Amino acid sequence: MSNRAGPTILRRLMVMVYEALLITAVEALAILLYLFATGNAHSPAIDHGRNAVFFLVAALYFIHAWSGSGHTLAMKTWRIKLVMPGHARVPLRAAAVRYLLAWGWFLPALLVCYFWQLRSTAQVGTAVALGIAAWALTALLDQDRQFLHDKLAGTRLISLPKRA
């Protein structure tokens, strides 16, 4: 299974766009429930709790999908599957490591925004776009065109054939 060709970088980025739409809906529901549970109060602890909910809900969604079927709904739609050579399914630990490493798409840009106090939509958007572009370029450093987080986690994305 792991000897299949990987999807193109553009196709993987298109999956990310679709994934962003799907995870936004999941996160919106989770945050709505959190705001309801906290009475929409604001304090540093509640605000950090909201961020933790955001992080953990995404973690549950991705880790469950990757260690179960090997793909999220967006990946299934685009016929892409996550595999780990030598394993029938991606182990839970490897899926969790991949999730944490995949924050490389956004975390550097978010840290730049935080430390340089960038707040405007244009500033944050530019920082995130540059971070995404930089991370996407890591695929060009790998002969199989795998992104850095997959290389480090020992996982890889493969293309699935079209259904007849």
Mean pLDDT across the chain: 94
Q: At what angle do helices 92-102 and 44-67 cross, to 10 degrees?
A: 130
Q: Does the residue 87 lie in any domain?
A: yes
Q: Helix, strand or coil for residue 34?
A: helix
pTM of the predicted protein model: 0.90
Q: Assess if residue 88 is contained within a domain.
A: yes
- Whether 101 is covered by a domain: the verdict is yes
Q: Where residue 1 falls among pLDDT bands split at 50, 70, 90?
A: very low
Answer yes or no: is 116 within a domain.
yes
Q: Residue range 112-130: average pLDDT?
A: 96
Q: Per the domain annotation, does 4 fall within a domain?
A: no
Which residue type is seen at 14? M
Would residue 3 count as lying in a domain?
no
Establish if 38 belongs to a structural domain: yes
Please report the pLDDT score of residue 2 as a whole number.
42
Q: What is the mean pLDDT of residues 9-31?
A: 95
Q: What is the DSSP letter of 159?
A: E
> 1 lies in a domain?
no
The total number of structural domains that make up the chain: 1
Domain that holds residue 83: 9-159
Each residue's pLDDT tens digit, 37-93: 999 999 999 999 999 999 999 999 999 999 999 999 999 999 999 999 999 999 999
